[in-house]
Amino acid sequence: MAHSLSLDEVKNEIRSCIISSKAMLTLKQLSSDYMMLVGDPIPFKNLGFQSLEGLIKSFPDLDLKKQGNVTYAVAKQSEKSAHISELISNQKSPKKRPKFGRFHHSFPPSRSHQTNGWRPKTKYQSNKNHNPSGARAKNHAQFVSRSQPTVASKVVIPQHSSLPKQILRVEDEPATKGELNQRTNNKRLQENIKALSNSGGKEYMSKHRNTVFTTNTNINNNDGALQSTQIDSGASSKLLLSTKMRLSRKMSELSLDSDSGNSSPTNESISPILSKTAEFSRTNDPLKDLKKFVAIHKLGDVAVSTTLMDPKRKKFYSCKIKVGSEHTYCSYPKEFKSALEAQSFCCEEALADLIPKCEIKASLISTEQDLLIRIPPMLEKHANGIWAKQLTLDYSDKYGEMLPHDWLSIIDKSNNVHIEKTAKDHILYHCKLGDVLQKGQQRIGGSRMPLSNVSVPANTVQFREDGKLTCQITYVVSANEIWCEQIYTEENTRFSEMVDRMKIYYEEHEAQLIPQEIVLAGYYIAKYEQEYYRVRVEKIDQRGIVCFFIDTGDELVVPKSNIFVLERVYATSQAQAFLCRLSGLEDLYDVSTNSEHLAALLDRVVILELAIDISGDENTAILPVYMYDFETGSSINEDLISQLTVELAAPILKPDRSTEVYISHIESNGDIYVHVKTKGFDNLQSLRVELQMQVNEKPLDYLLYTVTKMNSEGHLYFMKDKLTGNWERTKLIDWAPTGDYAQVYFVDKGYTDVIKVADETLYPLDSVNEVFNTYPSQAVRVRMALDAIPPNFLDLATAALPKETPVLLKIVEMGAENIPTVKLFRRNADGLFCINESIAMQTELSKEETLKNKFKLLAVSGIPSTGTLKCPPLPKAGPGSRPIEVFVPMAVSPYNFIVQPCSSYKQLHDMMDKLQLAYEDVQYGNLSIDDIVPGGIYAYKHTDSCWYRLSVIKVIHTGSSVSGYLCDYGSYQTLSVRQLVTLDEAFMELPYQALSAKLAGIKPKLDKWTMVDCEFFKQLTEMKRLYAELISIERDSFSRSDIILKVSLYDTSTDDDILISDELIKSGIAVKHT
């Protein structure tokens, strides 16, 4: 009953009604459809609403629309609303949780990272777009670097690198416009040597003063790719250059921010490590050392505080140290038994961070060659440009050298660098051949997207020598948009430590870090669920700031009040999130959004292997990968193929709600095969069509083999359907004893066929397309809920259920073999109607018509259908006659129904009780066909095991059957003579009680009463007590011996009397007829 349905269940039924209309419904029509579908009114009051409108407004995906004085219910769906819904669902997702300050990935024990090496078996894959459509993915940039191979091979460079050839190979550099100024280089190198000598490098220089260098030096670019630079021996200028490069490399080795895992040391002997400073030396007191170092470098005051943490649970100490206004360090989450231990640990952490930043690194000045080699790759990681001021600091942090005063003029010589001057500073962009932005070209209309104060470098994904990497999945959208964070690397460890410091800093300085303006594509700090994240602004609107979380891949709406300035010290670490897609699942990309199985990957540690079968796609904005479980090495791609196909395309019929289905196939026994339009159904059909085209154009004959009963079990085949000419998925379910013929079942259609196996082309689907092979069967078998399946069921059901028309399916019960017994509903111009009842009514009408044709013979004989029984007393006919109370046991149409006078209702029931007692011991009669007299009244045992009075209409001499009429209930029967017994005279006294009737004063609006008209009339009258006003009496056109009462019916069960004929007119079923 509707009152027991939950709010969600009621919503589902309402939505089913609205969607089935393919447009919108008036509230009146919605109420009527719901009543038809559920059997009860919409229970809005039981659910706590004052009106139906209030209930509909409470559903976010339903809406009300008013046209004139009529209110309609509509189902909302648009790209914009879908995008908003996604953002809302993201923020409400229970799987969202802060990643920073919580996950510290220490290096795991050494392991071989063995994986099962799964590869797709698919021969054909659909030509789908591999790129996700979200703004976060479109605006994302990332780079790929692979460790130096163990065997001789070409040097691997970043796929996005566009360094000019003269920079990549110094020895091949022509003397052109881009020629380096050697004299300037020598001068700056002398300054560097002098500065280094003053800083403790005198011993190093004296040892190598007269050395002639002959060496191959590896210069490490920004992405870790190694470029070989040949240094000629003998020339003094080359000596200076070689010396400079050794010193430059030494400085890079001392830099904390040098790329981890990307450098490749040379085989030459390394000179002694340079002393850090002349003034600073370590003692056994970390706090004293820290204060001394801070004083030497004038970093500000040192503030130290220790805290006893949670003494009720576990006693441990935490220490926090603040150096000046820019540096904060904390021992948390590590725990210490004493305040001194916590303080010492925190001091060591501070020194480890400050020493590399403050010592030698700014004492050297880079040469022109350094600038042209190093800066373009740095710029390439900033897609929207970077301020010159930030680049100066980032360069110093990375290489431990200062930029010369004219560095902008030098770097402007590079074809890969574009510089724009603003009132505030210079902005540097990376450009290359083919980019929208070319060197020296101003932006269209002079417009430039505002640039935030700092820019965060893009991610470089670093694969190991074995072609794999370890990462944690941080955000999942679909099979072609999975965001990951590389872990168990020095870079990630430094990033985690930076985030801990960032949290402490922003907790203290929020008020001072409110941005004056927030610009699109700018980088900021966002506070979300009491954690701080680095973000890029994607959109600004009335809801807040749509932020892309650059270290996790999330996209969420954050209030403007929770956006803060990103300090440069926290912008130096590259964005941690990188984007990948699952190779081999291309056919599932479009339908895998919001998959539960994909969502379960969140936070999982996995191994990634770059797919080699990327079809020539060199775009690293999204990496095609094979993903493996970190612990077992099993293929996640392989597991997801079966999991996703079941999740996305399993045709599930839920017993607690209506389901929209399409008819696939109808059997004569009442079985129907239906399609549920799941998220993956259309994708499956598209894939089938695409594979059909490919097979037709290029047959896969090399996949064919002799199919037998033994080797076909459990396999699906791609076979051409003779009926439609389409290629379909099939399964061989039965074989002839000789093995020549087999019965095939079309798993997505529901029908079978018999084939001669040798004459058919059967492609094994597991070799053709793995995804297509794994999809669940789409044809779902159900059974119509009917008391009896009529002989012409196939014709009736085919006419009532067109294949391209959606119908609503509601499960009545689970029948034999676990096959659902169902009711089907379809919409016409008047609303929803039940197909089951329509078929049952058509069957009944067909029976009536057949029997009436047989009964035409009675008109000749003059014997009425009620036989020799008397007619009950009738009131005087005519307008204004006294209404009598009647009961309607059967209603077929407004022109064909039965009434029983309630004045003799008690006598009828008493007679029926006595009739059962009189014949309770009788199983069958002993009458023969010759004993039966037309018009005679007999006792008849019905299939419900009850006895009734029956008038014989006709004897069927070709068998032992007769046609008869139930005198008291008004239905015609065809029965065996054995079901008849001579009736005792005592049961002949009561007049027949079944009076044939029709409504007076109306006629059908159309040519005849439709199935829907009859059903509506039946709901108004059948099995109800009504009042009948006798207007006239007429003869039955089929049997002139029978009479039909023309009446007006009234329902007096409510406060206001209802004239049934008026209700039919109001509903558009009937019109007045005089």
Return the pLDDT at 1022: 94
Count other Cβ atoms within 10 Å, centred on residue 21. 19
Is 247 found in the same domain as 209?
Answer: yes
Is 468 found in the same domain as 414?
Answer: no
Q: If residue 695 lies in a helix (H) or strand (E), which one and from where to where?
A: helix 681-697
3-state secondary structure of 326: coil
Is 849 found in the same domain as 804?
Answer: no
Domain contains 99: no
Domain contains 28: yes
Domain encompassing residue 250: 144-151+161-254+361-446
Q: For position 321, which CATH number holds?
A: 3.30.160.20
Is 886 found in the same domain as 900?
Answer: yes
Is 581 found in the same domain as 562?
Answer: yes
Cα–Cα dist 214/623, whole Å: 41
Domain contains 84: no
Domain contains 342: yes
Domain contains 264: no
Cα–Cα dist 625/142, whole Å: 15
**Structure tokens belonging to residue 730:** 């099939």
Place of tokens 């340079």: 274
Indicate the residue among 599, 631, 646 that finishes a domain: 646
**CA–CA distance from 884 to each of 900, 903, 1031 (Å)?**
10, 8, 12
Question: Per residue in 485-514, is it b (16+ CB within 10 Å) or e — as a string?
Answer: bbbbbebbbbbbbbbbbbbbbbeeeeeebe
Is 529 found in the same domain as 474?
Answer: yes
Is 463 found in the same domain as 435?
Answer: no
Domain contains 122: no
Q: What are phi and psi of 114, to 5 degrees?
A: -70, 135
3-state secondary structure of 833: strand
Return the pLDDT at 951: 93
Q: If residue 745 lies in a helix (H) or strand (E), which one and from where to where?
A: strand 741-746
Return the pLDDT at 787: 85
Cα–Cα dist 590/683, whole Å: 8
Indicate the residue among 646, 674, 704 that finishes a domain: 646
Return the pLDDT at 1029: 93
Residue 822, burial from CB neighbour count under 10 angstroms (0-12, 13-18, 19+): buried
Is 239 found in the same domain as 342?
Answer: no
Place of tokens 């880079």: 366
Indicate the residue among 619, 646, 673 that finishes a domain: 646
Q: For position 1059, which CATH number holds?
A: 2.40.50.90
Q: How many domains does the chain fold into? A: 6
Return the pLDDT at 203: 38
Is 178 found in the same domain as 293?
Answer: no
Handedness of CA 7, 9, 10, 11 (dihedral sign): positive
Residue ranges in the chain whose pLDDT is less than 70: 1-4, 21-23, 77-113, 121-139, 146-279, 311-313, 359-363, 433-449, 612-620, 847-862, 957-959
Outline where 764-903 has alpha helix (H): 765-768, 770-774, 793-800, 835-861
Return the pLDDT at 627: 94
Is 634 found in the same domain as 616?
Answer: yes
Q: For position 562, which CATH number holds?
A: 2.30.30.140
Count other Cβ atoms within 10 Å, centred on residue 467. 14
Domain contains 281: no
Is 662 found in the same domain as 633?
Answer: no
Q: For position 69, which CATH number holds?
A: 3.30.420.610
Is 292 found in the same domain as 237?
Answer: no
Nearest Cα to Cα of residue 646 among 591, 709, 704, 571:
591
Count other Cβ atoms within 10 Å, centred on residue 75. 18
Domain contains 111: no
